[in-house]
Amino acid sequence: MTGIDDLPIRDELRGKSPYGAPQLDVPVRLNTNENPHPLPEALVARIAERVTEAARHLNRYPDRDAVELRTELARYLTRTAGYGVAAENVWAANGSNEVLQQLLQAFGGPGRTALGFEPSYSMHALIARGTGTGWLSGPREADFRIDVAAARAVIAERRPHVVFVCSPNNPTGTAVGADTVLALYEAAQAARPSLVVVDEAYGEFSHRPSLLPLLDGRPNLVVSRTMSKAFGAAGLRLGYLAAAPAVVDAVQLVRLPYHLSAVTQATALAALEHTGTLLGYVEQLKAERDRLVTELRAMGCEVTDSDANFVQFGRFDGPGGAHAVWQALLERGVLVRDNGVPGRLRVTAGTPAENDAFLDAVRAVLKESNR
Ligand SMILES: *Cc1c(COP(=O)(O)O)cnc(C)c1O
Note the pLDDT tens digit of each residue in 149-208: 999 999 999 999 999 999 999 999 999 999 999 999 999 999 899 999 999 999 999 999
Nearest residue CA, atom 7 of ligand 1?
95
Pair (253, 110) in one structural domain: yes
> Residues with beta carbon inside 6 Å of ligand 1?
33, 95-97, 121, 166, 170, 199, 201, 226, 228-229, 234, 239
Q: Is the peptide bond before 22 cis (omega within 30 degrees of 0)?
A: no
**C-beta neighbour count of 112 within 10 angstroms:** 17
Residue 76's H or E segment, with its range, is: helix 67-80
Count of domains observed in the chain: 2
Assess if residue 47 is contained within a domain: no
Pair (265, 306) in one structural domain: no
Partner residues linked to 138 by β-bridges: 117
| Confidence class for position 59, pLDDT limits 50, 70, 90 | very high
Q: State in Å: Cα 226 to ligand 1 middle.
A: 7
Pair (282, 229) in one structural domain: no
**Top mutation candidate among 34, 121, 172 for ligand 1, by most atoms within 8 Å of CB:** 121
Q: State in Å: Cα 145 to ligand 1 middle.
A: 20
Q: Is 224 helix (H, G, I), strand (E, B) or coil?
A: strand
Q: What is the pTM of this model?
A: 0.95
| pLDDT recorded at residue 280 | 82
Assess if residue 299 is contained within a domain: yes
Pair (177, 256) in one structural domain: yes
Assess contact for 238 and 227: CB atoms under 8 A.
Answer: yes
Pair (252, 322) in one structural domain: no
Pair (281, 241) in one structural domain: no
Q: What is the pLDDT of residues 325-347, one digit of tens each?
A: 999 999 999 999 999 999 999 99
| Confidence class for position 19, pLDDT limits 50, 70, 90 | confident
Assess if residue 295 is contained within a domain: yes
Assess if residue 141 is contained within a domain: yes
| pLDDT recorded at residue 15 | 86
Assess if residue 45 is contained within a domain: no
Q: What is the pLDDT of residues 191-202, one digit of tens each?
A: 899 999 999 999
Q: State in Å: Cα 283 to ligand 1 middle.
A: 20
Contacts of 68 (CB under 8 A, 6+ apart): 265, 269
Domain boundary among 273, 304, 334: 273
Assess if residue 351 is contained within a domain: yes
Q: State in Å: Cα 174 to ligand 1 middle.
A: 15
**Top mutation candidate among 34, 123, 227 for ligand 1, by most atoms within 8 Å of CB:** 123
Domain boundary among 273, 298, 318: 273
Pair (343, 330) in one structural domain: yes
| pLDDT recorded at residue 24 | 85
Pair (153, 259) in one structural domain: yes
Domain boundary among 234, 255, 273: 273
Assess contact for 254 and 170: CB atoms under 8 A.
Answer: no
Q: State in Å: Cα 164 to ligand 1 middle.
A: 13
Q: Rounded distance, CA 367 to CA 358, Å?
A: 14
Pair (280, 256) in one structural domain: no
Q: Rounded distance, CA 261 to CA 266, Å?
A: 9
- In the predicted structure, residue 301 carries a pLDDT above the cut 50: yes
**Top mutation candidate among 199, 240, 337 for ligand 1, by most atoms within 8 Å of CB:** 199
Pair (14, 31) in one structural domain: yes
Q: Which atom of ligand 1 lies at the shortest distance from residue 94's CA?
A: 7
Q: Note down the domain range covering 69.
A: 57-273
Q: State in Å: Cα 302 to ligand 1 middle.
A: 25
Pair (173, 225) in one structural domain: yes
Q: What is the pLDDT of residues 77-136, one digit of tens each?
A: 999 998 999 999 999 999 999 999 999 999 999 999 999 999 999 999 999 999 999 999
What average pLDDT is seen over the chain? Answer: 95
What percentage of residues in the chain have a pLDDT greater than 90?
90
| pLDDT recorded at residue 22 | 74
Q: State in Å: Cα 117 to ligand 1 middle.
A: 16
Assess if residue 51 is contained within a domain: no
Pair (349, 360) in one structural domain: yes
Q: Is 353 helix (H, G, I), strand (E, B) or coil?
A: helix
| pLDDT recorded at residue 371 | 46
